[in-house]
Structure formats: C-alpha cells, structure tokens
A and B are shown apart, each in its own frame.
Chain A
Amino acid sequence: MKQKIRHTNNTERNDLSEKSQAYLRIHAHALFSSLGRVVKNTFTSVMTIIVMAIAISLASGFYLLVVNMQQLTGNIESTNQISLFLKSNISDNSGKKLAEKISQNAAVGEVVLITKEQALREFKVYSGFGDALNVLDTNPLPTVIQILPKNTLDDVKTIESLMMEFNRLPQVDFAQLDMQWVKRLQSMMQIFQRGVLVLTLLLGFAVLVITGNTIRLELQNRRDEVLVAKLVGATHSFIQRPFLYTGFWLGFLSGVTAWLLVSIIMLVIQGPIETLSVLYDGTFNLSYFSFIDIVLLLSISSFLSIAGSWIVLHFQLQQIKPR
C-alpha cells in the first residue's frame, strides 16, 4: 500500500516536471521561431523597427534634453544672489567702500565686487565682441556688487526685503534679484516638461499602434497556419504566443536602434555642448543615459510592443473561424 502511494507521488512529480519542461519548450520555441520570422521578413521588420526607433528616440531624446536642462537650471537655482548695479558716476573705490559696508549686514553672507575693468574684461571674453570693444572711449559698464544672502533659498521674504533695502541706497542704480528670472525659467521649464510628457505619451501610443498594425498584417499572412493550428487542438495562448514574441522582438530591437540613434545624436552635438560647458565655467556636463535608463528604455519599448500586439490579437484572433 505504502509503495503504491509512493509510486503515485513519483508519477505526479514526473508529470509536473514534464509539464514545466513542455511549458519551457513551447516558450523557447516561440521565442526563437518568432525571431527567425522577424529576420526572415527582413524588409518589413526593418521598416517597422526604423519607424518605431524614430518615435522612441524622439521620446528618449527629449527625455535627455529635459534632464540636461534640469541640470542647467539646477545650477542656477542655488545662486539666488542679488546684483546691485551702481550708478555710473560711482567710482570703483566708493563701490568698494559700499561693499564693505554691506558685508557687515547680518543677513548678508558673501559679497563680491566686480569693478568696471573686471566687468569689461569678462564681457570681452564671453560676448565674442573682443577687440571691437577697444573702440569704445569710455567704459560703459557699471560697478556691480553681488550679494549672496545668508539664508539662501528658503526665506524668500527676507531676501526680497533685503533687496528693497539695497534698492533705497543712493549709490544704487537698481537691484536685481536673480531668483526672479530663475523662477521664470523654471516655469518655462515646467511648460516644456509638460509638453515633452504629452509628446512622449503620443509617441508611446504610436509605438503601440505601429506594432499592432504589423502584427495584424502578420496575422493575415499566417491565417491558414492559425486555422490549421486551431483544428489540431492549439489553445488560444499557443496561437498568440509567437505573435506576442514577434511584438517583443520588434519592440526590443526598436529600443536598441533608438538607443543607437540617440547615441549618434549625442556624439554629433558633443562639440557644441563642450563649448557651452566652457561658457558655464565647466560646471555643465552633458548627461547621457544611465544603465537604469537603458534598461528602462528597452523594457518600455518591449512592453509597449507586446501590449500593442496583445490588443490586436485579442480582437483579431476571434475573427478567425472556427473558434
């Protein structure tokens, strides 16, 4: 009796491992046969992959643009400094005295004086006018005092009242809070980001539709095969599996192509970016995809393609009679 029970257990276990083996076999078969089919239908596959890759690289390219711009504005964000532009008749010397006086203010952290000469030199270097400025008889630039408040970001009210106070000083032509244009830039960035988000959703939807359509055509081409498979007892999931894998390959390969495309674009703009970086005193480094970004890119493109295929299969397979 005992032996008999053990025997049944064994056969059950064998059945189970046999079933899981069969399951793996069916999946491996579908994975590689679908890749074979993607390769065999070279022209169609390449066309589809290129179209999808362009959509994906647009989306991921915009993503990189946002990331890089955030880095730029992020740098600026930390410098909510107040710039005091002194009246042009104020000499560098009295400017220096004023700067010393201001630095004694409890709310002030750091004070930097930019003399007229210094300003002109910097302007020559960065504006690109260079020697053309030598033509000028007099230096038209004012003396500037840059003030970094002690409590930097959080206390907007103190900073604003501080600025008002400086604005009332007789030597000051006008005081400018750099934070204002940072705020403007940031809100513009928000609009831009929102736009990129909408665009990305649209492009993702495009990927969904493109794979869906490719799979629909593939299904039409293999209608007989589906019919015969149904008649010899193929389950719904068996029939749709190779198509889903085809969708996966299309999405995955499009993702890889998009990654390449974006990398090429990055190489092309590398030069100008480096020039820009110099202008930002080298603080600006071009961000590229991180490892996680690449994994995400490939997963999302594969997932979208599988989803597109699944939706099409869900509706189209039922139309192939018999059940």
Chain B
Amino acid sequence: MLKFDHVSKRYPDAGDALLDVSFHLKQGEMAFLTGHSGAGKSTLLKLIAMMELCTRGHVLLDGQNLNKVTEKNVPYIRRKLGLIFQDNKLLYDRTVFDNVALPLIVSGYSYQEVGRRVRAALDKVGLLGKEKKYPMTLSGGEQQRVGIARAVINKPRMILADEPTGNLDPELSAEVMQLFEQFQKVGVTVLIASHDVDLLTQMGHRILTLDHGQLKAS
C-alpha cells in the first residue's frame, strides 16, 4: 500500500528532515511512527499527503510514484487518504455536519448520500445527534473525533494521523486508538505519528522510530 524507497527530504533552510528512509506498509496494516520532536514524523506524513515532495528517493502509494503525480491529480491522491491533524483543522464557522461532509461535497456526492454517510460516520465516532452543533461548543476529545469522522467519511484506503491524541487525556487517547484499530480491522491501512510511547507499546502494533530523520528500527 505504502512504500518508502530511500527517501530523503531536505529543506533549503533547515537541512535534512528525512535521510534515506525505507519501509513498506501492507494493505490493512497498522503502524505507529514515533521519535523525538523534530525527528521528521510530520515531514514523513506530509510526503504521503503530497503536502511536500521528497528531494531524493521514491514514495509509492498504492503502486503510484508520488513524484510523478501531476499537479492536476494531487486531489485524487488525497481522496485515497484520510488525514487527521493534531489541531483538527476543523472549520469553526461551520456545523459538525458541514465539517464532516466536506470531503463528500468536494467529490460531488448527492445530498441524500452525504446525509446518510455523515450520520454513519458520526455514529461510528459516537457523536450522533451533534450534527448541528458548532465545533467550538464541543470538548477537545469530541472535536478530535469530528476530525476522525471527516477523515474516514470518504472510505479512504489509508488513514494518516499526526499526533491524534496529543491534546487528550489517557482514557480518551485509548478510545481514539481503539477507533483506529476498528478501521484497520476492515482493511484500512493506518499510520499514526505519536510520541506517546507507553500507549503505543501497549497496543502491540508495528513501530517505526525516527531519529534525526533516520529510521532506527522497523
């Protein structure tokens, strides 16, 4: 599903963020990406989401070399992914429903289909009945789950999460992680960047550790 082949990323001012990183995630696999802050976790996720391009090597998503994707096709690559951010990136002037529906609206789904899927996704993350609320009126954990609902509504092949439990207490963090496991069980590939080592080791999935841009153990 996802293959990094000797990937390096160098920023003009900040130097190497990733250095010769190689690994392979199979379809339906769940893995954690960990390391100290500034180790290159976010950069690695950004390469997959095509927010950045690597300077050397190749990133292959679903067999497609991301270096060769034209600007016009970037949106269609992103539709295969569900992105979850530490800061949620919710739109605060829109209701929960509108936030979650955005990926479907963007793809031109019918209103009936959008309504049906949004309710299903909100049900999945335990927020059914909060469609009409605004994100500001929700707790941090609920906001994070709105973000997750938005990420999975398009039935992505792969979920990428950047510190999804960063702002949550341990109990909520465990709940969110369980949610990710549920998606993995239905065949979605999941890659989660997190520095919450205790929680990760408990869960017993594969752990990729970055250290100054280099992959330590696979």
Q: Which residues of A contact B (CB under 8 A)?
A: 21-23, 25-26, 29, 224-225, 227-236, 238, 321-323
Contacts and interface: CB of A to CB of B under 8 A. Distances in A.
B89 A22 contact: no
A234 B49 CA distance: 13
B52 A322 contact: yes
22 contacts: A22-B109, A25-B111, A29-B105, A228-B89, A228-B90, A230-B75, A231-B83, A232-B78, A232-B79, A232-B83, A232-B154, A233-B78, A233-B79, A233-B106, A235-B106, A236-B72, A238-B75, A238-B106, A321-B51, A322-B51, A323-B50, A323-B71
Nearest to A18: B110
Contacts of A225: 91
A234 B75 contact: yes
B150 interface: yes
Interface in B60-81: 71-72, 74-79
Contacts of A323: 50-51, 71, 74
B51 A233 contact: no
> For the side of the interface on B, what is the size category?
20 to 34
B106 A231 contact: no
Contacts of B110: 21-22, 25
Contacts of B71: 323
Contact of A22 (B49, B76, B83, B108): B108
A26 B89 contact: no
Contacts of B111: 25
B107 interface: yes
A220 to B, nearest CB: 15
B154 to A, nearest CB: 7
A229 B49 CA distance: 13
Contacts of B28: none
A231 B108 contact: no
B39 to A, nearest CB: 21
B91 A235 contact: no
A232 B106 contact: yes
Given A21-B110, A227-B89, 4 more contacts: A23-B108, A232-B154, A233-B76, A233-B78
Contact of B150 (A21, A232, A236, A321): A232
A236 B78 CA distance: 13
A26 B104 CA distance: 11
Interface centre among A25, A233, A236 (most CB of B within 10 A): A233
A149 B141 CA distance: 96
B103 interface: yes
A129 to B, nearest CB: 72
B50 A26 contact: no
Interface string B106-124: 1111110000000000000
A1 to B, nearest CB: 31
A227 B107 CA distance: 16
B106 A229 contact: yes
B1 interface: no
A234 B150 CA distance: 14
Best-surrounded residue of B76, B77, B108, B109 (most CB of chain A within 10 A): B108
B91 A228 contact: yes
A316 B12 CA distance: 23
B108 A26 contact: yes
B207 interface: no
A288 B109 CA distance: 47
Given A322-B52, A323-B71, A231 B105 contact: no
